[in-house]
Chains A and B, each alone.
Chain A
Amino acid sequence: MDTAALTAWIREFARLIAANKELLTELDSAIGDGDHGVNMDRGLTAVVSALDAEPPETPSALFKKVGMTLISKVGGASGPLYGTAFLRMAAAAGDSVELGKVLRAGLDGVVARGKAEPGDKTMVDALRPAVEALEGGGSVQEAVRAAEQGRDATIPMVARKGRASYLGERSAGHADPGATSVTLLLKALEA
């Protein structure tokens, strides 16, 4: 993927976040503090403004701008997690981007910052299977399906990270908001 295609991907992600703001807020109200949709939308709106103001010329510059903007604008846990992911993707990106490789770098960044393990009911549970699908030569559609399955698999899980973990058993029965938003990141690739 080149810079133009990647920029279109990020813009589509921003659109999907805005369109699903209420859903993310609802999921986060059930097991967190109800701010995931609002925070992500604020961050991605700022990302789109930054891209409008000064379109990045390389994949690496694009990811760096996305990462820095999210760190500065989102707050909460999502800001550092998504921000770190995109900064790691910036470091892993060359002139043209191999999706599986950069998303692997992003996933490693999320794990390093948040220390979540598979099954903790976090964004890792959706992102990891998608990355593994791409690394195994799967199509974008297959990666999206893997993310969706990973997201749905968080529904019965008991959270062990983030604010949802304070609910103990009561966190089961709802999809994780972070797993849901990161599935939108994958879904944005289909546009």
Chain B
Amino acid sequence: MKKLINDPSNVIADALRGIAAAHPELRVDHENRIIVRGDAPVRGKVGLVSGGGSGHEPLHGGFVGPGMLDAACAGEVFTSPVPDQMVAATQAVDGGAGVLHIVKNYTGDVMNFELAAEMVAADSGTEVVAVVVDDDVAVQDSLYTAGRRGVGATVLLEKIAGAAAEEGRPLGEVAEVARKVNAYSRSMGLALTSCTVPAAGKPTFDLPDDQMEVGIGIHGEPGRRRVPVAPAGEIAEMLVSPILSDLDYTGGDGVIAFVNGMGATPLIELYVMFNEVSQLLAKAGVPIARSLVGPYITSLDMAGCSVTLLKADDEILRLWDAPVNTPALRRGV
């Protein structure tokens, strides 16, 4: 294992110190491992709290700031944060208008956020609503699994719900916008390599040089099938066609197309992929209204990518275009 780390067991603490040093506009609570918007709580604004295992950076901490999240909880690598962190984050961002929990659909994340909401309800009057993100079409049979996983749509949802909260809309409406983004989003991912959890020291799964794994999640969990490495055009087809066959993308205002890097894939390859994706969408009669290309929800040092398509409408596009000022996403400010 070659990594830019000190002690593997201190990676998260060290990274949080780095975030604090690089972004003085944010508050980092090192004891609770939460990253909070510097001016939180914002009076009268719905607070947005997300969080999850570490290793997906810039998700979630890189999206804390005006126009997006109010706080993010950092768990151990690929492990949900614990309820104490979520309670501390909820209290730190409660500006009197309630708090939205944005939870990726993983068993651990869901249970820890549930416990946190129970704890907040038990000792304060803060209103908490949770929205669960589950956009991964790789999970085919929700009946016999823990359900679809939360992946790329999380980034789009945090941006769009964040803009809705910034407009001063009430908790119910912000939650509604968030649920709409989730309902209109589908994602599919692919790995060219495994990834190495610092504390484990070796790749989470073996993937031969000539093979790739289709339908991966973001935690180094293997995907659904393994196929020989193929050109980008064929890979794009493997990712886009299950998305298009899962949701009718025609007849709206086009899509927000998001090609995401899994951590170790260079941007040039992501643009090669975006070109292929855009051609497939043109062929399917689905116009691209907006785009996002880059590593935004990663899986440590995994090589590969995911594609997320969000069916857009006026409201979604307006909120997507609103100003945002966070370490990893910044525009219009």
Chain A interface residues (CB < 8 Å from chain B):
25, 29, 32-35, 38-39, 42, 71-81, 83, 113-114, 158-163, 165-168, 170
Contacts and interface: CB of A to CB of B under 8 A. Distances in A.
B221 A166 contact: yes
B141 A163 contact: no
Contacts of B115: 71, 80, 83
Interface in B203-222: 204-205, 217, 219-222
B82 A75 contact: yes
Interface string B138-152: 110100111001000
A166 B146 contact: yes
B62 interface: no
Contacts of A168: 141, 144-145, 224
A33 B149 contact: no
A151 to B, nearest CB: 19
B145 A39 contact: no
Most buried by A among B108, B112, B115: B108
B197 A35 contact: yes
A165 B107 CA distance: 10
B111 interface: yes
A25 B199 CA distance: 11
B79 A76 contact: yes
Interface string B263-288: 00000000000000000000000000
A35 B219 CA distance: 10
A122 to B, nearest CB: 10
Most buried by B among A76, A159, A161, A163: A76
7 contacts: A35-B200, A71-B82, A76-B79, A76-B108, A80-B115, A113-B111, A163-B107
Contact of A166 (B82, B84, B108, B145): B145
A114 B107 contact: yes
A33 B78 CA distance: 7
B146 A161 contact: yes
B75 interface: yes
Given A71-B115, A75-B76, A114-B111, A33 B219 contact: yes
Contact of B200 (A25, A32, A73): A25
Interface in B75-105: 75-84
Contacts, number: 106
Nearest to A122: B107
Given A33-B220, A163-B107, A167-B222, A72 B146 contact: no
Most buried by A among B106, B107, B111, B222: B107
A163 to B, nearest CB: 5
A84 to B, nearest CB: 8
B149 A71 contact: no
B81 to A, nearest CB: 6
A158 B141 CA distance: 13
A163 B79 contact: no
B108 to A, nearest CB: 4
Interface string B16-54: 000000000000000000000000000000000000010
Contact of B82 (A72, A113, A114, A159): A72
A34 B197 contact: yes
Nearest to B215: A166
A40 B10 CA distance: 17
Contacts of B106: 77, 163
A137 B75 CA distance: 42
B199 A165 contact: no
Most buried by B among A38, A39, A113, A166: A166
A43 B144 CA distance: 30
A81 B111 contact: yes
Contacts of A81: 111
A166 B111 contact: no
A101 to B, nearest CB: 25
A161 B220 CA distance: 17
A75 B108 contact: yes
A163 B111 contact: no
A163 B112 contact: no
A39 B76 contact: yes
B139 A166 contact: yes
Contacts of B81: 75
B221 A32 contact: yes
Given A161-B146, A163-B146, A166-B145, 18 more contacts: A29-B200, A32-B221, A33-B219, A34-B197, A71-B83, A71-B115, A72-B83, A75-B80, A76-B75, A76-B79, A79-B82, A79-B108, A80-B115, A83-B115, A159-B145, A163-B106, A166-B146, A166-B149
